């Protein structure tokens, strides 16, 4: 099947984590600028695609269940629903499917094979999937930032230059809900978000450290802290939460603390909270990239993951990497100093 000179239907496939999909938005925006009249869709999973809700560059958003994300469902039902989705996409006659991930994307290539686009664009190395008809040699991509790495796929379609910032759309209703919940003491102050959740133990900054940082921020007359976390119990095997850690921080602060405690029950509630903030403090992870996508400056705490690859992209930021790979080793004074530097130079004079 011959590929049109100007593709009319482009499908971007990104099937991994939330942060990975956020870091694909510079590629999606580049495609939108280069092909302003094309239909651009994104195929992801039910875990990551909500982050692209209402995205201005995306015309269609499609999600399939990963069996591990929905263990309560019969595997057969998951596979049947996925097959139906892929056949629906096949009927749309996609011109190009882009396997938007680093290195060889074998599972994404299999999904694209079901869709039967006119062309499949992806990275290749020796032994790459036969389905890739528009190959890009992966080469030294692993040494680049994730956003730069994936953006290189666009060169096969004429994209040039460096990737722009990540771009997300915040949930206006959730933003309004947070603002209504703010106490009178927050009026006229810039909000500073402190996101305490992280999946891996070595990526978790201690509750006592967060409490100490909040006390330092409370001493400023122009700042009001907002405590954010993934709700739930730490022992939940599927979706561990940080209700207990948040309670411990609040107990350390005391009943009179000038701080809003705000559990984020969804990606919409997270984006709605962050868009009102002038600064975010968090560990390396999906929430960090959501903040970047909303243009929020970030103080990013890194454990043993490489900051060169995963640092915030396209926003002012400070990275603090634990020398031994354990966030518990990062001093409160260092994080506070980083906050002060970003607050001093911030152009986002947001107040409520």
pLDDT score recorded for residue 352: 45
pLDDT of residue 10 exceeding 50, the answer is yes
Least confident of 2-11, 45-54, 136-145, 257-266: 2-11
CA distance 76 to 80: 6
Give me the mean pLDDT over the 272-296 stretch. 97
**Dihedral through CA 69, CA 74, CA 78, CA 81, nearest 10?**
-140
pLDDT score recorded for residue 3: 63
Give me the mean pLDDT over the 309-331 stretch. 95
Would you state the CATH architecture of domain 172-345? 3-Layer(aba) Sandwich (3.40)
Model confidence at 349, pLDDT cuts 50, 70, 90, reads very low
Give me the mean pLDDT over the 49-69 stretch. 89
pLDDT score recorded for residue 348: 46
Region for 164 from its dihedrals, namely left if φ exceeds 0, alpha if ψ lies in -120 to 50, beta otherwise? beta
Pairing of the two strands 39-45 and 277-283: unpaired
DSSP string spanning 93-120? --SEEEE-SSS--HHHHHHHHHH--SEE
Assign 3-state DSSP to the chain and report helix, strand, coil percentages, each to 5: 40, 20, 40
pLDDT of residue 97 exceeding 70, the answer is yes
What is the domain class of 9-157 according to CATH? alpha beta
Contact 167, 144 (CB under 8 A): no
Every domain of the chain with CATH number 3.40.50.2000 lies at 9-157, 172-345
What is the value of pTM for the model shown? 0.93
Q: What is the pLDDT of residues 122-155, one digit of tens each?
A: 999 986 677 899 999 999 999 999 999 999 999 9
Q: Give 168's contacts (C-beta < 8 A, 6+ positions apart).
A: 22, 25, 51, 52, 55, 271, 290, 293, 294
Give me the mean pLDDT over the 20-41 stretch. 98
pLDDT score recorded for residue 70: 56
pLDDT of residue 197 exceeding 50, the answer is yes
């Amino acid at each position: 099947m011959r590929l049109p000179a100007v593709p009319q239907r482009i499908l971007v496939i990104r099937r991994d984590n939330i942060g990975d999909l956020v870091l694909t938005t510079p590629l999606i925006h580049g495609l939108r600028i280069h092909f302003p009249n094309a239909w651009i869709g994104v195929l992801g999973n039910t875990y990551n695609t909500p982050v692209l809700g209402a995205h201005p560059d995306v015309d269609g958003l499609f999600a399939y269940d990963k069996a591990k994300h929905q263990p309560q469902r019969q595997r057969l039902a998951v596979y049947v629903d996925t097959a139906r989705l892929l056949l629906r996409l096949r009927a749309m006659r996609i011109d190009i499917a882009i396997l938007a991930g680093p290195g060889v994307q074998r599972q994404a290539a299999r999904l694209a094979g079901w869709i039967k686009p006119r062309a499949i664009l992806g990275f290749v190395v020796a032994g790459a999937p036969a389905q890739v008809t528009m190959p890009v040699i992966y080469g030294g991509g692993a040494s680049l930032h994730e956003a730069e790495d994936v953006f290189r796929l666009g060169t096969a379609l004429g994209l040039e230059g460096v990737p722009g910032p990540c771009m997300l759309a915040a949930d206006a209703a959730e933003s309004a809900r947070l603002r209504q919940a703010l106490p009178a003491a927050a009026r006229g102050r810039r909000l500073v978000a402190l996101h305490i959740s992280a999946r891996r133990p070595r990526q978790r900054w201690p509750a006592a450290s967060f409490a100490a940082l909040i006390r330092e921020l409370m001493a400023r007359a122009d700042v009001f802290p907002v405590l954010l976390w993934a709700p739930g119990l730490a022992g939940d095997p599927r979706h561990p939460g940080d209700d207990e850690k948040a309670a411990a921080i609040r107990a350390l602060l005391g009943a009179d603390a000038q701080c809003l405690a705000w559990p984020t029950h969804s990606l919409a509630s997270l984006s709605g909270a962050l868009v009102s903030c002038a600064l975010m403090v968090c560990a390396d992870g999906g929430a960090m990239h959501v903040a970047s996508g909303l243009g929020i400056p970030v103080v990013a705490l890194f454990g043993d993951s490489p900051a060169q690859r995963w640092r915030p992209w396209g926003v002012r930021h400070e990275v603090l990497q634990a020398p031994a790979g354990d966030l518990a080793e990062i001093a409160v004074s260092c994080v506070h100093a980083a906050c002060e530097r970003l607050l001093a130079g911030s152009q986002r004079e947001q107040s409520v």
